[in-house]
Amino acid sequence: MRAQGKKTMRKLRDAAMTVFEKRGYHAARVDDIVKVAKTSHGTFYLYFANKEDLFRTLTADVAEEMTELLESLAPIDATDDGYRELRQWLGRFTDIYQHYGPVIRAWTEAETDGSEFGRIGANVLNAFTRTLVARTGESAGADGLHPEVAALAIVAMIERLNYYLLSRQLGIDRDEMLDTTASIIHVGLFGGTRKASAAGSGDKASAAGSGDTASEAGSGEKENRRRTAGRN
C-alpha cells in the first residue's frame, strides 16, 4: 500500500475511535465515521467492507500493542527498582488505554455475547492474566495468595481506573493514579514498602509548613505576654 493509502486508513481509524468514543460501538455508523474523517463513503469502502471490518483492524492494533506490553514486563521484586519497573509498565498501559479506550470498552461490552470481538478481548485478557500469574508466582510477597485471582484483581483494577481517568467521571490525576496503583500492587503482591505519592507528599509538606507557621506564631505570642508581664 502506498503512503497516501496508509495515511487515509489511519485517518479513518482515528475517526472511528472518535465516533466510538462519542456514540459507542453499536450506535456508530459508517456515515458518522466518514463525516469525522472528512472523506466519502466511496473512500471508506475502498479500505473497509463495513464498520465491523474497520473495528477488526483496530482490535488487531490493540492486540499487537498489548502483546508487546506484556512481553516487556520484567520480573518485579520488592526493591525500589521493582517499583519503578512496575510503575513504568502501568504508565505504558495507560498510554495504550487512552489511545484505544473506545476499542477496549467495546471489547468489554462484547465479552459476554460470544462474538468475534468478544473472543479477541477475552484472549487479550487471558494473556494478561497468564503473564501476571507468572510474575506473582515469582514473588515471595505473594505467598498464600491465589495467583489467578490476584492477577484478575490487578487487571480489573487497572482497567477500571483507566476507564475513569479517560472518561473524566472522577477528578483523578494521572500521576497520582499511577503512584497509588503501583504502590498497592507492589506492596500487596511483591512485598514492597509503601511509597508516598508526589501529590501526597506535597500535601504533607504544605501541612507541615502550616504547622511550623502556627507554632512560630504561638511562640511569638507567648514571648509578648512574658515581656508585658515583666514590665508590669
What sign has the CA pseudo-torsion 83, 89, 95, 101? negative
43 to each of 5, 46, 155, how far by Cα in Å? 10, 5, 38
pLDDT digits (tens, 9 = 90+) for 174-189: 899 999 999 999 998 8
pLDDT at 113 (0 to 100): 54
pLDDT average, residue stretch 92-106: 87
Most confident of 74-83, 120-129, 189-198: 74-83
The reported pTM is: 0.73
d(CA 181, CA 202): 18
Among 1-5, 70-74, 205-209, the minimum mean pLDDT is found in: 205-209
List the one residue out of 63, 76, 65 whose CA is nearest residue 132.
Answer: 76
The pLDDT assigned to 215 comes to 47
Query: How many percent of the chain have pLDDT more than 90?
Result: 32
Does position 227 have pLDDT exceeding 60, yes or no?
no
Q: Report yes or no: 125 and 77 within 8 Å, Cβ to Cβ.
A: no
Cell numbers of 177, please?
A: 493514579
Band the pLDDT of 166: cuts 50, 70, 90: confident
Amino acid identity at 228: T
What average pLDDT does the segment 200-213 reach? 46
Residues 6+ apart with CB under 8 A from 230: none
What local confidence, expressed as pLDDT, does residue 213 receive? 45
Nearest to 18 by CA among 8, 39, 33, 38: 33
On average, the pLDDT of the chain sits at 80
Q: Closest by alpha carbon to 105, among 181, 180, 162?
A: 162
Give dist(CA 155, CA 169) in Å, integer: 20
| 197 Rama class: left (phi>0) / alpha (psi -120 to 50) / beta | beta
Using the predicted structure, report yes or no on whether residue 48 has a pLDDT greater than 80.
yes
Block residue for cell numbers 462519542: 22
pLDDT of residue 180: 93
Assess whether pLDDT exceeds 80 at residue 91: yes
DSSP string, 155-172: HHHHHHHHHHHHHTSS--
